[in-house]
Structure 1
């Protein structure tokens, strides 16, 4: 019986090659999208799931109430660590600080030669033995207690050890960090998986941090560094709410009443870090659960759209198979047997499409992986039982979705009517169903397409918005040492290079992902004010190099240390003043210092963070010991070899370091890579959804042309023109596309309005975005319809009237 079903299926596929091809292509695309979405979602949901008891581990966050969700800071002042261990002795060994370094130079000796390695942000971190009580690592050599207790010790991951020392045993060997301090390898751990928010490959004993030098003061309760984070593992007898209540008392104990009322410490579950867009993490990557569910929904919708094609074409072709049904029923076939036959045909096409979808998804995976920032290797395991179960479920679900209604229709034909060829598929409930399914397809297509148009306009807005500074033709290079003589030597030697308009040394660029936030004391206040400021230590050429403008007063005078301040307009507003001039001459002290210096100028507002956040109070001052960047403004038509000459000068001043440079405009564009990738994903999905819809539309129109051949012949015989015939077919389907646009518009508006809420600076959703989408889809639909409708319009009426 099954063999017979298979033969009949092959025969039907041969006789209807065009329809079979449309179904296979549509299902393959839909299933490929589902497969890629499955692997992506599975990857995203597996972050840090390999750690035992991860549900009991939390990250400490500092929360500023008046700033809402934007007031969450991951950096915790360093004195908090000892205070927590002192005040919560029962948790002393369950509290850990991870102090990760930013871009770091590692020097090792290989066969008598010194090799230098430029490590990524947060690849290297200072941790103590308690860190391994919170998170699980596989130790190959050494142990947390023996390897990371003593100062000067370091533990490497397998790949990192091989990178530094090749196949040699790394134990006992030495690495040098930032040309400052040597560390001896005392342990070896397995490589962390890609799905972790703790991608450390080099772990240094936390007891070495004071000697190495932290970015902030160990006695400063006001300042923090984003890479210095604290974690706690709570016992099962204590929940998050209970510990946060105790942290309220802790906060009041160590901060004055005003500061304690405005800021607090809260907990964030580690298994939520990957899904919380409000905070950053060491992996530098987050994805909201809303985004994950959006991907699932879009993938499901595209599969549904492909199944709609199958249903449309199968019901449209039902009249062709009516005689077959009649014969089978006359010969004794039951409805159940017919259902089984048609389901087996659907399953055959589905299995074929799944196999093709697996091939297509494997080919597309490298591109999709680059768009979604996931590793292309090691994501898809066909032999994985979970993957096999998913593929089986996909075949079953698709077979039911695509095959149920057509099988019910075909198996329900009356044998007498079927044999006489009097079964009808038009002008009845089936025709209404086909129209409804076409509307569903194009609703899905237009929702995704509208989202793409809105995302594109938001990205364009990012590119054109006035940031309060210049970003073009500026190159940023690193200053690896706080050696004043070398800094001046570099600056003076570069000044003689033609093509350089200006230079500035600073700790941060105007807009930066790395920021120093600190408290401050104002005028006669002896306590910190209830909000923090963001610092921009820089020399006096900073304003000119980055094209910034003064609103009042003057720039501070040259100095190696703090002598004067310049604040931004947001600072003036936060202090309750209406005019920038009012703050000139006021005095303030930053961080843990009590030495107050005057404010001599006000600079016009500029964005210190990405456009996801509003402009906050900013303070600029001279602090030469903190300068780590040099911004170089190039001439518009500078020599193409200028960068090579800059590198040569830099390398002569800092021969022990690796030269690194970035173009500032490219750096700023990278801040919105997540949105760019989302836009790319939307664009791909929109194209697939529209293509699948057009495939189905083409098939349905082809069937209608075939089933209405005589009607077209009669119409032409009584004087209808080719344009009339084209319009007859086109107008009905254009109406369906317009109805789909009406349904899709509010859905897309709501979804994209929620997405835009993530941006402080965002576009307004305008009516023309929906109109453009509708016009584009109508145009594509008309092109799709035209292939068959023009053929009908040009048909010879004599041949049409002779057709059966």
Structure 2
């Protein structure tokens, strides 16, 4: 019986090979997209789950109670670690601090000391860690012991990958690496490289006992300074059913902890909360060491888009199957007369669907495999982190195939098997069923194009927002500026470097500062203004820089003057927002006022006010900020290049001269640079990924929809051949015949636009709410989406309709 079903199905599919090809193509694309999206979602949801105690591990965050809109801060003050161990002895071995080094030069010398290799590590893979770190997080040790490897100062544990990078195939144990040309560390352990799905992607673990000597922390008794690279993690007991969760209980105890160790004015504003380790990857409002996060909303969007694509492919199948139902009515009548039951017919037609689906599943796996490198790059998934031939992926594809068979084939099977044999054999199905099936097809086409237009509108809005990011005035110049890290700041070094570069043709300005105007590395501190009784309940963002900073970045001075050159804080320049928060309406009014910043005791004068500039990404509003001199914090050199003439070769020549001067000043370090506009573009990687994903999936949805529309129009043209012949014989023009086919489909596209527009507006408006600076969703975006959809529909319909319109009526009427 099964063999008979299979042979009959193959014959039916061969007989209608064009419709079979359309169905297979649509199903293949739909299944491939679903499989790729499933693997991407599974990858994102697996972050940090490889740790056996992932559900018990938490990260401490500081929250500013006085500012409800402030973001939780993962940076924890250095002395908090020892205080927590003192006050919570039960957590002594389940508590640890990590302190990341964002970038550093690692030097590795041979035994004779004659050959030294230097490696620039810029991705935050280096951290200070304790032996307790490995009590919380799971690592596979190849050499050394987790209890003793980092117990002593000047020791280091390397991942196997980084060990091969530094030492090749030789045994790294006992070898020495030098960090930033100022401290040596002996290799005491080797662990396997961290998984791609971790929020702590460290490859180099320096002993925490060396942190003070290295200078990567604040003083042991400084409770005011926080550093985003220093974070505390703790592991709590397992929750008991019906009882208060350990995290909630610990947060209550941390209230007393804050009151005990922090100044009263600070304790009033500070609250510690615990963030589950498994939530870190999805918390887009807090930073993480992996520098990669994704919102739960984005996860759900990927799931829904995958379902939309699959539904679109299934709609194709249903449309074409019901379009062919009338043609196969006599076949059904004959089968019923010969004794076939309805159940047997349902199995027969589901068998045909399953054959198509099986072919589509195999092709989808091939298409997905070929597309995986591109999709991995698009979604920022590390190569090799996802495989489509895993048991989970294959099981999902099998289940998806079964679901597709039922979803796409069940209704057509019921329709075809439900014909009454007498009406079928007399050919009366046409008159009794045409309207019903035509209405169904129209409804499905509306649904299909509504999904396509939803994705098109989303793509247009996302593109407009990304274009706004690239063109909006940030308050400073971001073009033709390169930034170079300054590894040391000894007396005379900066002056020597500036002197070597000042007369280089093509360089307009040079400035040294802590960071660029907009940066992910920020220093926020308290202040005291004039003779007020208490400190304000908000902090200011410090931007230490030399006197050339304003000219280099094109900042605009609204009143007063720039501060005079100095090595320490001497004079202050504030931004507009700070001026207004202080209660002044005009910049001139604040000039000459006195204030202390950064914990200082001596009041400094405000000598200037600059126009507001963005200090973060455009997701965030401008905050009060202070520009001032503070040579000890200069870590970035900015070079403004001339844009008047020259090209790529000129820039290369300038960079070569910059590298020569920089290497002469810092011979023990590795030169690297970044263009400021590219650095700022990294702020919006997640939005770029969303836009690219929408663009790709909108194209797939449109293509699948067009396949189905083409098939339906082809069938209509074939079934109405004689009608068209009669119309042409009676004088109908080709344009009239074209309109006969096109008008109804255009009406369906317009209905789809009306239905999808409110939902598209709501979804994209919610997405735009994440940004402090955003575009407005305008009417032309919906008009453009509708115009594109109409144009695509007309293009799809035109080939078959024009072909039918140009057919010789004599041939179509010859059999009458």
The TM-score normalised by the length of structure 1 is: 0.97
Query: Structure 1 CA distance, aligned partners of 2:564 and 2:723?
Result: 89
Query: Structure 2 CA distance, aligned partners of 1:129 and 1:588?
Result: 44
**Match in the other structure for 2:204:** 202
**Match in the other structure for 1:397:** 403
3-state DSSP class of the match of 1:657? coil
**Match in the other structure for 1:309:** 316
Unaligned runs of 5+ in 2: 240-244
What is the deviation of 1:720? 1.6
Query: Structure 1 CA distance, aligned partners of 2:789 and 2:44?
Result: 33
Equivalent pair of 1:256/1:527 in contact (CA under 8 Å): no
Q: Once the two structures are superposed, what CA deviation does each residue of 1:129-175 show, in whole Å capped at 9, x if it has no partner?
A: 22122212122222222111111110011111111111111111101
Query: Structure 2 CA distance, aligned partners of 1:82 and 1:620?
Result: 34
Which of 646, 666, 673 is the aligned partner of 2:658? 646
Query: Structure 2 CA distance, aligned partners of 1:435 and 1:21?
Result: 22
Which of 505, 509, 533 is the aligned partner of 2:540? 533
Equivalent pair of 1:223/1:516 in contact (CA under 8 Å): no
Query: Structure 1 CA distance, aligned partners of 2:488 and 2:626?
Result: 24
Query: Structure 1 CA distance, aligned partners of 2:2 and 2:710?
Result: 32
**Does residue 740 of structure 1 match 2:752?**
yes
What is the deviation of 1:527? 5.6
Unaligned runs of 5+ in 1: none
Which deviates more from structure 2 when the two are superposed, residues 685-694 or residues 371-380?
371-380
**Match in the other structure for 2:101:** 101
Equivalent pair of 1:259/1:528 in contact (CA under 8 Å): no
**Does residue 146 of structure 1 match 2:153?**
no
What is the deviation of 1:43? 0.5
What is the deviation of 1:253? 2.5
Which deviates more from structure 2 when the two are superposed, residues 140-149 or residues 150-159?
140-149
Query: Structure 2 CA distance, aligned partners of 1:599 and 1:803?
Result: 97
Shift in CA distance, 140/765, structure 1 to aligned 2, threshold 3 Å: same
**Match in the other structure for 1:773:** 785
What is the deviation of 1:746? 0.7
Equivalent pair of 2:78/2:217 in contact (CA under 8 Å): no
**Match in the other structure for 1:220:** 222
Shift in CA distance, 596/431, structure 1 to aligned 2, threshold 3 Å: same
Which of 700, 712, 715 is the aligned partner of 2:724? 712
Which of 731, 742, 762 is the aligned partner of 1:750? 762
Shift in CA distance, 774/381, structure 1 to aligned 2, threshold 3 Å: closer
**Match in the other structure for 1:122:** 124
Which of 683, 690, 705 is the aligned partner of 1:678? 690
What is the deviation of 1:546? 0.5
What is the deviation of 1:705? 1.0
The TM-score normalised by the length of structure 2 is: 0.96
What is the deviation of 1:443? 0.5
Which of 541, 551, 569 is the aligned partner of 2:576? 569
What is the deviation of 1:520? 2.4
Shift in CA distance, 67/444, structure 1 to aligned 2, threshold 3 Å: farther
- The count of aligned residue pairs is 803
Q: Once the two structures are superposed, what CA deviation does each residue of 1:759-792 show, in whole Å capped at 9, x if it has no partner?
A: 1101111111101100111011001010111112
Equivalent pair of 1:140/1:189 in contact (CA under 8 Å): yes
What is the deviation of 1:300? 0.7
What is the deviation of 1:66? 4.6
**Does residue 759 of structure 1 match 2:771?**
yes
Query: Structure 1 CA distance, aligned partners of 2:578 and 2:217?
Result: 24
Which of 420, 424, 438 is the aligned partner of 1:418? 424
What is the deviation of 1:69? 4.8
Q: Once the two structures are superposed, what CA deviation does each residue of 1:167-226 show, in whole Å capped at 9, x if it has no partner?
A: 111111101111110000111111110000010000011111000002544433232221
Shift in CA distance, 69/46, structure 1 to aligned 2, threshold 3 Å: farther
What is the deviation of 1:563? 1.2
Query: Structure 2 CA distance, aligned partners of 1:268 and 1:802?
Result: 78
Q: How does 1:362-761 map to 2 (within 5 A)?
A: 362-382=369-389, 384-424=390-430, 427-524=434-531, 528-636=535-643, 637-638=645-646, 639-640=650-651, 641-761=653-773
**Match in the other structure for 1:173:** 175
RMSD: 1.6
Query: Structure 1 CA distance, aligned partners of 2:528 and 2:130?
Result: 34
Equivalent pair of 2:41/2:299 in contact (CA under 8 Å): yes
Which deviates more from structure 2 when the two are superposed, residues 373-382 or residues 645-654?
373-382
Which deviates more from structure 2 when the two are superposed, residues 637-646 or residues 433-442?
637-646
**Match in the other structure for 2:242:** none
Equivalent pair of 2:98/2:232 in contact (CA under 8 Å): yes
What is the deviation of 1:245? 1.4
Equivalent pair of 1:476/1:629 in contact (CA under 8 Å): yes
Q: Once the two structures are superposed, what CA deviation does each residue of 1:562-611 show, in whole Å capped at 9, x if it has no partner?
A: 11111111111222222222322233333343333222211111001111
Equivalent pair of 1:155/1:203 in contact (CA under 8 Å): yes
Query: Structure 2 CA distance, aligned partners of 1:357 and 1:67?
Result: 51
Query: Structure 2 CA distance, aligned partners of 1:381 and 1:706?
Result: 41
Query: Structure 2 CA distance, aligned partners of 1:515 and 1:694?
Result: 51
Which deviates more from structure 2 when the two are superposed, residues 80-89 or residues 484-493?
80-89
